[in-house]
Chain A
Amino acid sequence: MSAESSLPINDLKERAAWLRRRVFEMVMQHREGHVPSSFSMAEILTLLYYGGVARLRRGAPDWPDRDRILVSKGHAAHALYPILADLDYFDSAELERFTQPGSFLGMYADNRVPGIEGISGSLGHGLGMGAGFALSARMEGRDFRTFVVLGDGECYEGSVWESAMFAAHHGLDNLVAIVDRNALCILGRTEDLVRLGSLADKWRSFGWAVEEVDGHDLAALRAAMDRIGSTDGLPLAIVANTVKGKGVSFMEGRAEWHNRMPSPEQEAQARQELGLAGASGHD
């Protein structure tokens, strides 16, 4: 486990703020990336990596007993890069080369990146892969767990539900799906586009244990994660209600910011709100 693997809530809040700052800097450097989709899951990732949830070893991305974490909403998987660098999986200097020629840190994450367990980008693959990890752990008698972070828009993909049914049938209680329910797609609100309705009800009806929480409330997320291992043999789904763009006021809840880059004035405002020193620049 990493040294900071079980920080108190207040320190975790600071960690989530740190993650937002690092992601924002990384994205703004070459103006490539998805900020709002990253920010809606900042607390989710913070809790997984620093909240004493995932068992990991600093500097050892290939440790066989590590918990597996897949960010299946691949457009935002780059939000993991600052964390993986912080865990000494690779040199943090690489973050400055995000999306640049020759760098292994692409807009979409693949398993050439130390700490990235499986490729993501197109949606609907992570849960199936995660079920594969969880099943292999079961077969080999290993006790690592698998966490898959899905987007709510991703839940439109039929393959998600194929895999959900499969995982429930096999009683994969070593598998956790966390749905980043930020309620937005590229073109608008999910409920206006094609209604997702109650995702909690859907996961429950597919045979999963379900927790629904405020996805920015670290204590609530931690309480939901505490159910791992006490679900009577069911896989666990955590529907985390979030705000897309959380942390930058003018991006919050606004679909059009999915992949838009801020003007210099907007960037300055965002940096201020995120607590980044200096109004702008590529420091």
Chain B
Amino acid sequence: MTETQTAAAPPPLMRDAFIDRLTEAAGQHDDILFISADFGAKALDRFRQDRAGQFLHAGISEQNMVDLAAGLALSGKRVFLYAMAPFLTLRCLEQIKATLAAMRLPVSLLGVGVGLGYDHATLTHFAIEDLACLRAMNGMEVLTAADAPSAVAMADLCLASPALRYVRLDRQGLTALAPPLEKAADLAPGLRQISDGGGIAVLTCGALCHAALEAAAQLGGEGQPPKVIDLYRIKPLSAPALLEALQGCRAIVTVEEQLLDGGFGSAVAETLLDAGAMLPMRRLGLRDGFVVENGHRDRLWRNFGIDAQAIAQAVREMAPASA
């Protein structure tokens, strides 16, 4: 995570970028409502001040927040729900299933602190099952932002194409990746290639895009750069877009800040399998039975084998198999 700390001006937080875009839209559209379960942001302070009538505090009551959103959405409101990712998702999974998903209501779920973002808070605050759980919801779209511009693009998408959608934001500010995602239309493919290479593809999303780029830089120095793909839309996962992105690749490594069961790598494997295009594949992530030690996120990444070194090593190990 060093790249996020060396810049003179820290990159903007995704939550601020997302909410600022909403604040701008809320001024023109009274039907936009923002509901927080006691979770804040600097941009939210501005929203609450400028658009007081369009903000609600649900109480630290995520279940109420979701049911309330269902009633408001059925009444024609465009509702954004906001909380720490672990509580927005698993705390009220039944509400999401039984009201939002069952009635296919176009509510936006905005979760902050995905993966191991709340590193010091440890297990209760880790959102490491949210991908598996939310992608299991009928009709749910799942997006992960890797930088502030992509968070803005996702806000733009929620405004332009209302749908039941879970937007995953990192707790930290992360440097902007290229090519940039800036508006709704940019998100159409569901993925972007953020580093050119061949032979092996590294697929990831969110903060780990930055670790994958670091690994790619190392491997590039060794003359074997992998292709790095930010697969920011895990559901629906576009098989044609994935196959096109993987052209020329003989093996893949997936990296996730999730329990492997049902998570990111699972989604990739399922898509390739269903498309009859399975490739040799290695999944990096948290394994069942994992044990947490206290420490910063970079230490957690190292311990769980998902940091840049682990990614580079996995690519090296895959290379002979795919040669």
- Chain A positions near chain B (C-beta within 8 angstroms): 110-111, 117-119, 121-122, 124-137, 139-140, 158-159, 162-163, 165-166, 169
Contact = CB atoms under 8 A, between A and B. Distances in A.
Contact of B74 (A117, A134, A162): A117
A159 B73 CA distance: 18
A204 B72 CA distance: 25
B94 A122 contact: yes
Contacts of A126: 67
A124 B63 contact: yes
Contact of B70 (A124, A129, A137, A169): A129
Contacts of B66: 128
Q: Output the residue of B77, B95, B98 with the most chain A CB within 10 A.
A: B98
Contact of B67 (A140, A159, A169): A159
Interface stretch (B53-61, B112-120, B199-207, B276-284): B53-61
A134 B77 CA distance: 13
A interface majority secondary structure = helix
B71 to A, nearest CB: 2
Contacts of B63: 124, 128, 158-159, 162
B98 A125 contact: yes
Given A125-B95, A162-B61, A163-B64, A119 B102 contact: yes
Nearest to A125: B67
A134 B70 CA distance: 12
A131 to B, nearest CB: 5
Given A139-B53, A165-B59, A165-B61, A127 B67 contact: yes
In this complex, the member of B71, B74, B94, B98 whose beta carbon has the largest number of chain A beta carbons within 10 angstroms is B71
Contact of A132 (B59, B74, B94, B98): B74
B13 to A, nearest CB: 28
A71 to B, nearest CB: 14
Given A118-B99, A125-B95, A128-B66, A162 B59 contact: yes
A105 to B, nearest CB: 16
Interface in B6-65: 53, 56, 58-59, 61, 63-64
Contacts of A136: 71-72, 75-77
Contacts of B73: 132
A122 B76 contact: no
B68 A119 contact: no
B273 interface: no
A140 B74 CA distance: 14
B103 interface: yes
20 contacts: A110-B103, A118-B74, A122-B98, A125-B99, A128-B95, A128-B99, A129-B67, A129-B70, A131-B64, A132-B69, A132-B71, A132-B73, A133-B74, A136-B72, A137-B75, A140-B75, A162-B59, A165-B61, A166-B61, A169-B59
